[in-house]
Chains A and B, each alone.
Chain A
Amino acid sequence: MRTNDVILKTATQLVTFIIIIFSIYVFLAGHHNPGGGFIGGLMTAAAFILLGLAFDIETVKKIIPIDLKIITAIGLLIAVLTGIGAFVFDANFLSHTFGYFQLPLLGKTELATALLFDIGVYLVVIGVTLTIIFTIGEDQ
């Protein structure tokens, strides 16, 4: 009984990108400004939920080719590995460090190992949120 909601679909196509870009910004800015892996992940998930509402879950699954549960697992693995990685440098579990590097294009940039951990959080949050929503959504 779905009607032809062109406006919604068109708007979604535009807005989704904005949301995703904003969420990635929030995620990357987390170390110095409000934001971080958790909020970034939630926002990215929200973008996909919007896609799912405007189109359907199949479309979203086409866009995300990997199983959502695997994304969650990868996120957890990254988070744990960043902790274990500290052992290589003879430091305690989950010790973080940071440094300033001269990168092409970006110039002098701060790179922190905490960001790697945050990537793990980001992926887990996306995976978890979408798994829950889509599992329940599919169970009609």
Chain B
Amino acid sequence: MTVLHWATISPFLLAILIPFLYKYARPIHTGWFVLVLPLVLFIYFISFLPITSDGGVIEYSAPWVPSLGINFTVYIDGLSLLFLLLITGIGSLVVLYSIYYLSKKTERLHNFYVYLLMFMGAMLGVVISDNLIVLYTFWELTSLASSLLISYWYHRKKSTYGALKSMLITVFGGFAMLGGFSLLYLMTGTFSIREIISQVELVTSSSLFIPAMILILLGAFTKSAQFPFHIWLPDAMEAPTPVSAYLHSATMVKAGIYLVARLTPVFGGAAEWFWILSGIGLLTLCWGSISAVRQKDLKAILAFSTISQLGLIMCLLGLGSASLYFGYGTESTVYTTATLAAVFHLINHATFKGSLFMTAGIIDHETGTRDIRKLGGLMTIMPITFTVSLIGTASMAGLPPFNGFLSKEMFFTGVLNATELSIFNMQTWGMLFPVLAWIASVFTFLYCLIMFFKTFTGKFKPENYDVHVHEAPIGMLVSPIILGSLVIIFGLFPNLLAYTLIEPAMAAILPTLLGGDDVFKVHIYHWHGFNPELFMTIGVIVFGTILFLLMKKWAQTTIYLRERDPLNRVYDGTLSGLATGGNKLTSFYMTGSIRHYLIYIFSFLVLFIGFMFVRLNAFAFGGETAPITFFETAIAIVMVIAAIVVALARTRLTAIIGLGAVGYSLATFFVFFRAPDLALTQMVIETVSTVLFLLCFYHLPMFKQKFENVKFKLGNLMVSLGVGILVTMLAISSHNSKLFDSLKDYFVAASYDEAGGKNMVNVILVDFRGFDTLFEILVLGIAAIGIYSMIKLRLAKEEQ
């Protein structure tokens, strides 16, 4: 365990202390204690920047389950460091924000910060782990922590609904991902991502390549809210706003992006990877941006916006993976623009989306509503919030000079480059990419306009609000201001990021493209000259503005009015269908009738053993048999008649006597087959048990006339005939297929010499196999005590 290991799990350790801090340091808001940790971690992780920007990596391993190849290996390269800085940096800001957002008097802060720290630690673990199983462990912890945070106000029905939904969907994906990891292990024999990448040809040549890829992508897509698994994210907006800002915009939803980027060296270069990623990404982008336009709730707009931006990043990662197809060379460098855009937009999105969520939270906190139909005219009342929102929204819409503009330009470059791809059938379908991307951008622009203008412009109507509306306290504004400043700084000086974060991250995503000591040379310009990207952006702005101005025309259409995502119906239907279906199935066969259960058991016996009989052709007839004597025939006939009498008896007495007759005939059989001990025992036992039957049944009521339908009786008959025939066949066949001699010769020889007894049966019972006898008498004893206690305890109860 090195310092890095401790740093990774430090949030968990602090989480243990939180309840005590909450209880014994009541006057201080618990968040202040929490704030220290992400700040320290952020500074600590920044110290790795010089190493990774020179292309170096840091790797330490601590054994966890070494026998299974599971080690807690921390591995920091450009990509991990980028995420580590995002998590701790935005984590600090969110904690600071939450100190002012959550009241220390009314909220259960200890719960909140324990969950938040748990989430932070899990997220750090996900991005720092090199071992797939460790990564999976932390991955599931993020799902768990996320659900706990969504249901933080657990008395609200919507919160628990959202938590359950996100849990079900992300855990479904998590399990699929575990399957994919196991397949990777099967192919390469290691859980270490480093080692898997070094033996990547084993993976690409394997027949398990596609299944592993699809399973892992299921995990990534559910976590990153890609179509059609995005439906959990809008419902996760029931969480407190700091949580939404942190988990559902900046960090957790990017875990899937991280996983995809991390495993690009393994799967990238394959057509399936390219198509699934870029296709689903593009679909999510369009779907999310179009759905966001229909939302009336600030956080819901932001949720769908997050979905669409994640789709954008995913699409870019897919397009960027095409460069791996070409390998190292000048040809591929054109396509790495997409990867560059993905990494850059990832950072940008975290900054502007974080600030937008925080301002939405401020508006909610200060006005009591998030509904854009009620809001309006807040510009002069909340000037700082207004400014920060303006910066964030403009960046999200892709306007210069903010960072969103730069990454959007690069996105257009990426999709335009994709049309020139000569692989993966792109000649046919490539044109779709820029067209769909452009349409999605128009809608992105549109919802940005709606969100901004509906909130801040127009007339202020005090009657819409239950509370006195005013600007938020400065503490709450610090975090969004910092993020907003970052948006501007990254927008004006994008190359600050280029050498420090983006180049090492790209080197981690596309390691095989670099020969020797090469590094990616990234330089981001504001002005590219008059190129197609610029015209596309101008088109987006023009069409977006036109659509917004015409809003009155289409605002009353049903499509716009309907807010819920139609895919929710599928989710709800599946869930309730599973419940009712399971219920129906169970109540269909679990009838509570022992007769039915017996029929299942016997039918299974007959069908299964019968099937095996036929399949293995196990029939064996016509072996050697002893001659049949007259007495045996006579006793057999008596026995059969007695058995039929038992089956057809109308009164109990007849049945008991019939059973007795069967028992005595059996004893006679024992006599004829020369088993005196058995005959004696059978005789006495039969007598005693008949006495018992008479004792018991004397008190029972008469047989009830049962009105069973003929079909049921016929079924019974079939089953019992089946069992009878089966057992008979089994007995005959096994008699005729004895493979080895019996042990009897040993007992005959040894019973007098070694055990000193002439009665072989008794010697076997008490000497050779006395152990069995010991437990048989134990069984008898238990039966006696059981009967005694059943009768006596029942009496005692009645007396009470």
Contact = CB atoms under 8 A, between A and B. Distances in A.
The yes or no verdict on A and B being binding partners is yes
A120 B692 CA distance: 24
A36 B692 contact: no
Contacts of B780: 72, 124-125, 128
A38 B759 contact: no
A33 B778 contact: no
A136 B770 contact: no
Contact of A132 (B680, B756, B761, B783): B783
A137 B695 contact: yes
A139 interface: yes
A32 to B, nearest CB: 4
Nearest to B786: A132
A112 B770 contact: no
A117 B766 contact: yes
A121 B777 contact: yes
A48 to B, nearest CB: 11
Nearest to B698: A140
Query: A-side binding surface: helix, strand, loop or mixed?
Result: helix
B755 interface: yes
Given A83-B774, A128-B781, A32 B759 contact: yes
Interface in B193-250: none
Interface string B750-761: 000001111101
Contacts, number: 135
Given A39-B684, A42-B685, A121-B766, A133 B777 contact: no
Given A43-B684, A94-B771, A31 B677 contact: no
Contacts of B771: 83, 93-94
B791 A136 contact: yes
A133 B756 contact: no
Interface in A62-104: 69, 72-73, 75-76, 79-80, 83, 93-94, 96, 98
A116 to B, nearest CB: 9
A42 B767 contact: no
B186 interface: no
Q: Which of A35, A39, A133 has most chain B Cβ within 10 Å?
A: A39
B687 A46 contact: yes
B391 interface: no
B688 A42 contact: yes
B784 interface: yes
B681 interface: yes
Nearest to A46: B684
Contacts of B680: 26, 34-35, 39
Interface in B664-707: 676-677, 680-681, 684-685, 687-688, 691-692, 695-696
A13 interface: no
B681 A127 contact: no
B688 A31 contact: no
B792 A135 contact: yes
A43 to B, nearest CB: 6
A131 B728 CA distance: 38
B774 A132 contact: no
A139 B791 contact: yes
A110 interface: yes
Given A46-B688, A121-B777, A125-B777, A114 B677 contact: no
Contact of A114 (B681, B684, B763, B785): B763
Max count, chain A CB within 10 A of own CB: residue among B771, B780, B792:
B780
A112 B695 contact: no
A16 interface: no
Contact of B795 (A31, A93, A117, A139): A139
A31 B759 contact: yes
Contacts of B765: 36, 38
Given A39-B681, A46-B684, A76-B777, A131 B770 contact: no
A128 B784 contact: yes
> Which of B688, B696, B766, B781 neighbours the largest number of chain A CB atoms within 10 Å of its CB?
B766
Closest 7 CB pairs of A and B: A98-B756, A34-B676, A32-B758, A128-B784, A31-B757, A42-B684, A124-B777
Given A35-B677, A79-B774, A117-B773, 12 more contacts: A39-B680, A42-B681, A69-B785, A72-B785, A94-B774, A114-B767, A118-B766, A120-B777, A127-B781, A131-B788, A135-B787, A135-B791
12 contacts: A31-B759, A36-B759, A39-B681, A43-B684, A69-B788, A72-B780, A83-B771, A121-B777, A128-B783, A133-B692, A136-B787, A139-B795
Interface of B: 676-677, 680-681, 684-685, 687-688, 691-692, 695-696, 755-759, 761-763, 765-767, 770-771, 773-774, 777-778, 780-781, 783-785, 787-788, 791-792, 795
